[in-house]
Amino acid sequence: MKPKTIYLVLCFAGAVLPYWEFVPWVAQHGLNLPLLLRELFANRISAFFGMDVVVSAVVLFTFMRVESTQLKIPHRWIPVLAILTVGVSLGLPLFLYMRELRLEELRSTGGAAAA
């Protein structure tokens, strides 16, 4: 299976699985951001995962900016929107999918990808 196909499948999983948990929570509590943050940091292990995701998102924003600038990836705002609305679980595979598309395009046109 090609990497871009794997990334597309991971996009689906990265969107569905987090919302599988989030939608019932919102149905029960509404969009209560103070409660969301309290529950996210309710104990050290949940805070560990919360901080891990926040740091991963910052790293991913940086990586996407560098890579999309070097490779001239169009529509680079789409994975940013994915991170802000779903999370790293969608934003990362979506960006990698878009990156694979751009690399294929560069290979087919004989363009050199940045090192």
> Among 40, 17, 3, which Cα is nearest to 89's?
17
CA 84 – CA 37 distance, rounded (Å): 16
pLDDT for the residue 112: 58
Q: What are phi and psi of 17, to 5 degrees?
A: -65, -45
Collapse the DSSP code of 115 into the 3-class scheme (helix H, G, I; strand E, B; otherwise coil) and give the result.
coil
Q: Which residues of the chain have pLDDT under 50?
A: 114-115
Q: What is the pTM of this model?
A: 0.88
pLDDT for the residue 110: 78
